[in-house]
Amino acid sequence: MGMSHEELVINAEKERLEILRKYKQLLKAVEPHIKSRDDLKKIHKAYELACEKHKDMRRKSGEPYIYHPIAVAQICAQELGLGVTSVICGLLHDTVEDTDLTLDDVRELFGDDVCKIIDGLTKISGVFDQSQSIQAENFRKIILTLSDDLRVILVKLADRLHNMRTLEHMRRDKQLKIANETLYLFAPLAHRLGLYAIKTELEDLSLKYVEPEKYTEIANKLEKTKEVRERFISSFIHPIKKQLAEQGFEFEVKGRTKSIYSIYNKIVKKGVPFEEIYDIFAIRIILDSRPENEKSDCWRVYSIITDLYKPKPDRMRDWISFPRSNGYESLHITVMSPSGKWVEVQIRTARMDEISERGYAAHWKYKESGMENAVDDWIRRIREILENNENAVDLVESFKLDLDTEEIFIFTPKGELRTLKSGTTALDFAYDIHSEIGNTCIGAKVNNKLVPISYKLRSGDQVEVLTSSKQKPKEDWLKIVISTKAREKIKTALREEKRRVAMDGKEVFERKLRHLGVTFNEQDINRILHYFKVPDVQDLYYKVATGGISNFEIKQFYKDENSRSWYQYLANKIRRKTPEKKEEKTLEELIKDAKRDDSLVIGDNTVKLDYKLSSCCNPIPGDEVFGFVTVNDGIKIHKTTCPNAMQLMSNYAYRIVKARWTNRESIAFLAGLRVDGFDEVGIVNRITKIISNQLKVNMRSISFETKDGLFEGNIMVFVQDTNHLNDMIAKLREVPGVINVTRLN
């Protein structure tokens, strides 16, 4: 039954009061940034306009839609420390896209700054080339706006953070898409902007939806070990506090637990169980220090700590002498505690701590810190990426490469310091100095020793680039470089070279036709392109210039052309040489054609579709899966936790279809197991007996390697579903001598 009129009135009044309460909370958060009555008036005008435009709209949770813009504005003010303009943009960020408010209205009411940011925030509307991802185009718009006003991206991150916090009300497939998109681009973006608190929350919330079981398992283990951890931290920091107080420091000490996502990453990438991760938490010492004493104070504290506890030499990170390019400053050391545990200690000042949490959002507050140069430098690099990338998906990939890396510090021969990515080669460094130096690079001297262009640089290296006017970029250089700038400059140089060679090829081609006494028009060119299977005229001329198409073949084409009609010739050629090309089919056509009766339901239909199980993650019944419509291979089934899922869901969301297993058929699926343990006599025999005799499972292959008393084995088995596989894993773990059994992707 619906609510009575009286209940509706009471409900509406409750909501009105709640909206008002949230707005007052927002005003309190933005108060430090309000400089005049005019600022306050503008915020109120934006609030009233947002209330008016969203008044009949509801969120998926059933709440009034206006809760969302107020929450986004609140994050801008409270968590990012942004000012009046950003708060206004937070309140209005969805109005131009979702209501009848136009950008001209916004400009008239709030001025150019707000209008420009709202324009950047308004998602792309209209039709795109469906071969590219709509989502990638949205990312492209976001990245493009970075070079206009950094606040666009900060408000966008606030919007994404609130969406992630309220994701439980969305459908499962939407949750997966949004969470993967967040992990793929928004969390690295927050990291690159130095917004560690937001980056961490975005990653944790994404994991909660992408890998709910793993997330809950780690969260529970953290909760169970909390008390022991707190006791340990308390006894560890007690002598440090005593010494710091005696030396007259003003300070705060915090124990900071590693995020669930970073623990998960360590478990997956390093293959270690939760119990064996030594840096589950770090101790953070925050000093109240005068600007001129910051560096010396941090090093004094370093000295006090290393007097108390022995440091691990290879785990010292000096981000104070060499701040990261996102402005992060801190001194990290790992020391041995009295109970035999390694503990990470981070030493920083209050200013450094605020910048580490709020990143570039704090740079307006600390203009004298030199962070503006880092901002400008980063935006300059982004502009270079934008200039060299026309395809949206390529752009996102390039941008992501630029986001996802640690940094090293390299010195030029004159002692100038340059910050580059970890894994950088001598060729990358050459392009970092200048594109022409990159294009003519033949090698380098690293610390006065001659090295090839592929040499990987290490932090602290001094590098001199060697060049030659005869050198030109080559195709295989793309495999050497890792930086976006170098990659794009090489591609541009190769395109230019191809264009130059093609011009020579055009002359050769036209000379040959004159020799044959042939004139040709555009229709002839199209026929020639078909005949030689080249996509465009430039490729045709390039192949002629490089010998890919010989004079004899051109002559043969005209001979064949004259001996029979073009259409008859083409038909014969297709029959003779070309394998039948499969037509691309739409999802609807695939559904109509489907005749199989397998144990997978794809989409909302009950009709079964042809599909292939993806080899990158080998899904089996019981796994949570999705379908991806490929161009040539029909539908491919991936696990939602597949290594490629994040990119597919982010860049090609419109080609994702829902898929789930049914239990109608008993089919065997191939799955892999990794077994680790002690190399005892007869252990392989015990393992194979359990698989073959006890569980009656067929094995396709088994391989074991032993080293220094330990073994690791890979076993490929045929199972019916995840329950079957999990049962086998549990049984194998009980075998004496087996330490761990995990599923292979």
Strand order in the sheet with 251-257: 251-257, 281-287, 342-349, 331-336, 317-318
What stretches of 309-370 show up as alpha helix (H) in DSSP?
350-358
Do the beta carbons of residue 380 and residue 370 sit within 8 Å?
Answer: no
124 neighbors 134 (Cβ within 8 angstroms): yes
On the 0-12 / 13-18 / 19+ scale of CB atoms within 10 A, 715 is buried
Cα distance between residue 528 and residue 627, in whole Å: 39
Choose among 66, 323, 32, 79: nearest CA to 200: 79
Compute the distance between CA of residue 267 and CA of residue 218 in angstroms, rounded to an integer.
10
- Name the catalytic one among 13, 48, 97, 553: 97
Residue 423, token pair as written in the block: 């894994």
What is d(CA 307, CA 240) in angstroms, rounded to the nearest whole number?
Answer: 10
Q: Please list the helix, strand and coil fractions of the chain in percent, rounded to the nearest 5, in that order.
A: 55, 15, 30
Query: How far is C-alpha 590 from the geometric centre of its chain's CA atoms?
Result: 32
Which amino acid makes up residue 196? Answer: Y
Q: Whole-angstrom Cα distance, residue 376 to residue 374?
A: 5
Tell me if residue 428 is catalytic.
Answer: no
Choosing from 98, 217, 318, 504, which is the catalytic residue? 98
Residues 215, 221: Cα–Cα separation, whole Å: 10
Size of the chain in residues: 745
What's the Cα-to-Cα distance from 193 to each of 77, 84, 374, 417, rounded to whole Å?
17, 20, 10, 21
Task: Name which of 426, 428, 419, 443 is nearest 481 in CA terms.
Answer: 428
Between 112-121 and 134-146, two packed helices, what is the crossing angle to 10 degrees? 150
Nearest Cα neighbor of 115 from 92, 140, 137, 142 is 92
Instruction: Tell me how far apart the alpha carbons of residues 491 and 248 are, in angstroms, rounded to a whole number.
Output: 58
φ, ψ of residue 145 to 5 degrees: the values are -70, -20
Rg (the chain; Cα; Å): 31
CA distances from 721 to 94, 597, 600, 622, 715 (A): 44, 17, 12, 5, 16
Position 383: which residue type? Answer: R
**H-helix or E-strand spanning residue 107:** helix 103-110
Distance CA 524, CA 685 (A): 71
Task: Show the tokens assigned to 392.
Answer: 């949206």
The 3-class secondary structure across 262-287, one letter per residue, is HHHHHHHHHCCCHHHCCCCEEEEEEE
Annotated active-site residue 97? The verdict is yes
Q: Quote the CA–CA distance of 18 and 158 in Å, as a whole number.
A: 21
Tell the residue number behind the tokens 């902007």, with chain if given.
193
Please state, in angstroms and rounded to a whole number, the distance separating the CA atoms of residues 123 and 132. 16
The runs of H, that is alpha helices, within 564-616 are 566-577, 587-593
Q: Find, among 444, 480, 486, 482, the residue nearest to 462 by Cα.
A: 444
- Cβ burial of 329 (10 Å; 0-12, 13-18, 19+) is buried
- Convert 421-453 to b/e letters by CB count within 10 Å (16 or more is b): beebbbbbbbbbeebeebbbbebbebeeeebeb
Q: Which residues does the annotation mark as catalytic? A: 97-98
